Every structure is written in structure tokens, then in C-alpha cells.
């Protein structure tokens, strides 16, 4: 039987395998040491030659074990997301348990040639790590995740507005990268905002995520330096008895009205079409735009509210995310319903009412956030909240109109503070043999 490697299926969450060509990285074994792929091998299974990654069945192999025991690698560990495809991974991929967001600025003197070489190195490293293979760049693999599977690792790359002038590609900058307008709730720290390059790392294992972070930072070398980094988390897969929309640190279910990949207009809302509309450069075909906001939650103030008042602020029940007008989480809220007192059941300034697509001319975005907790401040309050990440085909039609409306009267605004912001153009996925951004950098 031949060895196998991952092949991208455009449908989110679908993983397939196909024979690996002789001489490719996935068909070669490292010349020294034991590879992670061997460590994940199906020892004891007759005729097996590799992992069937991403299946819903039991573990296919074994982690590196102590001499006295052999522990089966769990299904969570074996899951793999393809690197190559029409779209970059980490957009419509299911939410991860652990995430890192990093922005880089090109070093003085680094231009288009150096940026292309960096994206080539980063893409090679991301492809290997997402397949459960060692990171071969930067000298050697650190071994941090040596005994782990790929754990649904995804790495996503984007370009900030300033990247284009620094690489002499100003004419290729999309109009959608124009700066976001100011909002009254902004308390932005410039040092933790924007950046030439942006990387999103997600995994269901913290060590796998850190391993990718460290590998990519090392690969940056002298070409780019870290501008800011943020770390986030979500609920671990399997922690709930049944699938449920994630909760944020306020305890609220977050993401109920997200567009679903199964919806016929999902791609139109989230991804730049192929070919792009007039005014959008061809290299953005299949890409998307990411708005990134660090939103501090004033948890001490929030937790002083009674459960009833919290639910009025949001417009949904805390227990199950259902609208206050009744039903389940997925029930459409009755925005016109009034109670016995004649007042709207869902208040006029409730977050769910103001942010609803039907209240914003259909404006839609795919929210894929992480929670964060960066310790306790000098005043004794938790530095915690949401690393808000939303994806859309055009931020001027997605994030901006909704945030403007929230800015004018959202009841939740009293309990949050926007502390950092960034907008990034995320190109389409790399085809086999390509690196991410190649169609821009070699145009």
C-alpha cells in the first residue's frame, strides 16, 4: 500500500487522502531521528501504512509512550486539517480550544523579495505541522509537540494595510483595507493594533499551538519582528455532553446567529468571489477579510448584575441562548413581542436586537473568537475578555455597519472596552506547490 497525505476538500471539516508522489516532503522520511509521523503510526494493525486523519472513529495510532506503557492517541489528536485548498484553513474550520494571534512588522530594509521568501518558509512550515510532521525550518524541530498528533492545527496568514507600501505593492492594496472608522467605545493601544503581517494559529492542543507559534517566530528570522501577540482559548472538544455553541467569559452563548457553511449564501458573505468584483485585485480571489479586536470585559461590573438584568442586556436567556421571546437557541427572536406591561420583551437596546442581521440590512460576518485572560490588573480587576475575530467578504458591508449601530446604543457597551484593533486581507488558499500570497508577491 502507498503512503498517504492530506488533500483538501473545499467543504469545511472534510479531510481526504490520496497517494503521495515519490520525492515529495510527505513521502520522505527524515534522515535522522524518529519522525512524528512514525510516532503516530498504527503499530500492531496489519497492513496499515499511515493514519486516517480527521476521521470520527477511534485513535489510529500511538503517542510516544513511557517505557512501561503505550497510550493510544485520541481522536482529538489525530484530527488534521488540509493546508492546501481554495480558502485558507482557520476561517470556516470549527473553533479551536487554543489560539495565538501574532502581528509582525517587516524589518527595515525588508521588501517584496524578502517578504516572498518569508511567506514561502512560513507556508512550508505550516503545511508540515498541520500534517503532523516536524518543522524542518529554522535549523531543527524543537520537539515541543513530538508526541502529539496534529490536533486540528490551522495556520492562517494575512496582510495589513502597511504591508503594501513597504513592499512596493501599493497598487495591489484592496480598497476594503481602508482604515476602520473610529468608534466611541474605542480605547485603542496602537502598539497592540494593526501590523504588516498577521498570523492566526489554532489547535485543540495547547502544546501543538505553541509549537507552531515558536516555529513561525523562528522562521521570521531577521525579515520580520513581532509587533504584538495575543493568546486565547475556548472550550475543549468533548468537554460538553453534547455539541453546543461556545460561551464567552460573561457566561453567554456567543455565535448563535453565525452564518453556517451549509447555507447557500455562506461563501458570498464570507469569501471574495472568483473572479473578484471590479475594484478588488485578482490575488484576493477566494480570500476573506479579518477584523481583529481585543475586547476587555468589565467582569466585576457585569457580575454585579442579576441574572434577569444580564439577560435583558443581551436579549437572550443565559441558560441556553434562546431569545427572551421563547423557543430554543436557534429560534428566531420575535422583535415586536411585548409583555403584559406593554414593554418590548427584548429591549430596544439589547445586544441581540441591535446586532441582528435583519436589523442591519442583512450585514453578516462569521465570528470566530477566542477568550483571553492575561492576569489581574493593578486595580485588582481581571484583564480578561474576547479576542474578537470576524470574517467577511467586505468589512465595509460586514463589520463596520453593525459596529456603528452597536456604538450608538448597545446596552452591552457599558460592560466592554475595545482595546486593540486590526484589519487584514487574507488571501485565498495555496494550491499544491504554491505558498500563501504567491499570487500577490509574484504578480
Contact 376, 383 (CB under 8 A): yes
- Residue identified by cell 467578504 is 393
Phi-psi map region of 134: left, alpha, beta (phi>0 left; psi -120 to 50 alpha): beta
323 and 352 Cβ atoms separated by less than 8 Å:
yes
E strand or H helix at 165: helix 161-166
C-alpha cell at 346: 427584548
Terminal CA-CA length for the chain = 40
Other C-beta atoms lying within 10 Å of the C-beta of residue 127: 22
- Which 3 state secondary structure label does DSSP give 82? coil
90 in Cβ contact with 200 (< 8 Å): yes
Q: What is the CA radius of gyration of the chain?
A: 23
Evaluate whether 84 touches 432 at the Cβ level (below 8 Å): yes
Catalytic residue selected from 194, 254, 394, 410:
254
Q: What is the 3-state secondary structure (H, E, C) of 185-216?
A: CECCCHHHCCCCEEEEEEECCHHHHHHHHHHH
254 has catalytic annotation: yes
Query: Residue 292 and residue 101: Cα distance in Å, rounded?
Result: 9
What is the enclosing helix (H) or strand (E) of 250? none
- Residue 419 and residue 186: Cα distance in Å, rounded? 6
Task: Decide if 29 contacts 39 (C-beta within 8 A).
Answer: no
Q: What angle do CA 30, 58, 28 make, to 5 degrees?
A: 15
| Residue count (the chain) | 443
Phi-psi region of 119 (alpha: psi -120 to 50; beta: other; left: phi over 0): alpha
DSSP-derived secondary structure for 121-181: HHHHHHHHHHTT----SSSS---TTTT---TT-EEEEEE-HHHHHHTT-GGG--GGGSPPP
String of DSSP letters for 258-278: ---TTSTTHHHHHS--SSPPT
Beta bridge partners of 338: 344
Question: Roughly what angle, to the nearest 10 degrees, separates helices 112-130 and 206-220?
Answer: 160
Q: Give the residue numbers annotated as catalytic, written as ranges.
A: 254
Amino acid at each position: 500500500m502507498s503512503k498517504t497525505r492530506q488533500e483538501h476538500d473545499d467543504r469545511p471539516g472534510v479531510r481526504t487522502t490520496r497517494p503521495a508522489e515519490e520525492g515529495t516532503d510527505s513521502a520522505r522520511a527524515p534522515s535522522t531521528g524518529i519522525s512524528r509521523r512514525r510516532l503516530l503510526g498504527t503499530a500492531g494493525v496489519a497492513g496499515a501504512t499511515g493514519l486516517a486523519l480527521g476521521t470520527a472513529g477511534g485513535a489510529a495510532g500511538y503517542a510516544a509512550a513511557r517505557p512501561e506503557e503505550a497510550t493510544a492517541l485520541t481522536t482529538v489528536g489525530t484530527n488534521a486539517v488540509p493546508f492546501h485548498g481554495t480558502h485558507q484553513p482557520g476561517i470556516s474550520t470549527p473553533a479551536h480550544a487554543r489560539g495565538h494571534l501574532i502581528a509582525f512588522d517587516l524589518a527595515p530594509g525588508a521588501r517584496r523579495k524578502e517578504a516572498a521568501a518569508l511567506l514561502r518558509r512560513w507556508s512550508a512550515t505550516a503545511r508540515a505541522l498541520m500534517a503532523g510532521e516536524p518543522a524542518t525550518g529554522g535549523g531543527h524541530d524543537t520537539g515541543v509537540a513530538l508526541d502529539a498528533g496534529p490536533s486540528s492545527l490551522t495556520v492562517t496568514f494575512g496582510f495589513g494595510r502597511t504591508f503594501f507600501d513597504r513592499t512596493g505593492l501599493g497598487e495591489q492594496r484592496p480598497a476594503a483595507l481602508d482604515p476602520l472608522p473610529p468608534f466611541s467605545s474605542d480605547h485603542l493601544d496602537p502598539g497592540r493594533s494593526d501590523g504588516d503581517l498577521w498570523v492566526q494559529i489554532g489547535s485543540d492542543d495547547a502544546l501543538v499551538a505553541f509549537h507552531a507559534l515558536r516555529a513561525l517566530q523562528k522562521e521570521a528570522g531577521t525579515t520580520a519582528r513581532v509587533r504584538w501577540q495575543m493568546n486565547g482559548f475556548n472550550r475543549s472538544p468533548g468537554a460538553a455532553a453534547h455539541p453546543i455553541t461556545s460561551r464567552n467569559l460573561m457566561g453567554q452563548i456567543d455565535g448563535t446567529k453565525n452564518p453556517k457553511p451549509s447555507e447557500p449564501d455562506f461563501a458570498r458573505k464570507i469569501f471574495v468571489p472568483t473572479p473578484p468584483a471590479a475594484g478588488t485585485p485578482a490575488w484576493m480571489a477566494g480570500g476573506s477579510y479579518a477584523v481583529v479586536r481585543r475586547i476587555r470585559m468589565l467582569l466585576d461590573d457585569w457580575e454585579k448584575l442579576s441574572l434577569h438584568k444580564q439577560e435583558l442586556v443581551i436579549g437572550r436567556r443565559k441558560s441556553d441562548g434562546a431569545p427572551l421571546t421563547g423557543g430554543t437557541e436557534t429560534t428566531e427572536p420575535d422583535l415586536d413581542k411585548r409583555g403584559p406591561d406593554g414593554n418590548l420583551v427584548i429591549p430596544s437596546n439589547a445586544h441581540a436586537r441591535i446586532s441582528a442581521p435583519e436589523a442591519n440590512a442583512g450585514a453578516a460576518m462569521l465570528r470566530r473568537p477566542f477568550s483571553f485572560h492575561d492576569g489581574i490588573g493593578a486595580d485588582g480587576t481581571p484583564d480578561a475578555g474576547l479576542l474578537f475575530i470576524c470574517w467577511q467578504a467586505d468589512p465595509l458591508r460586514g463589520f463596520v455597519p453593525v459596529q456603528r449601530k452597536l456604538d450608538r446604543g448597545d446596552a452591552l457597551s457599558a460592560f466592554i472596552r475595545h482595546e486593540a484593533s486590526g484589519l487584514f486581507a487574507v488571501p485565498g488558499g495555496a494550491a499544491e506547490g504554491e505558498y500563501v500570497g504567491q499570487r500577490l508577491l509574484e504578480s
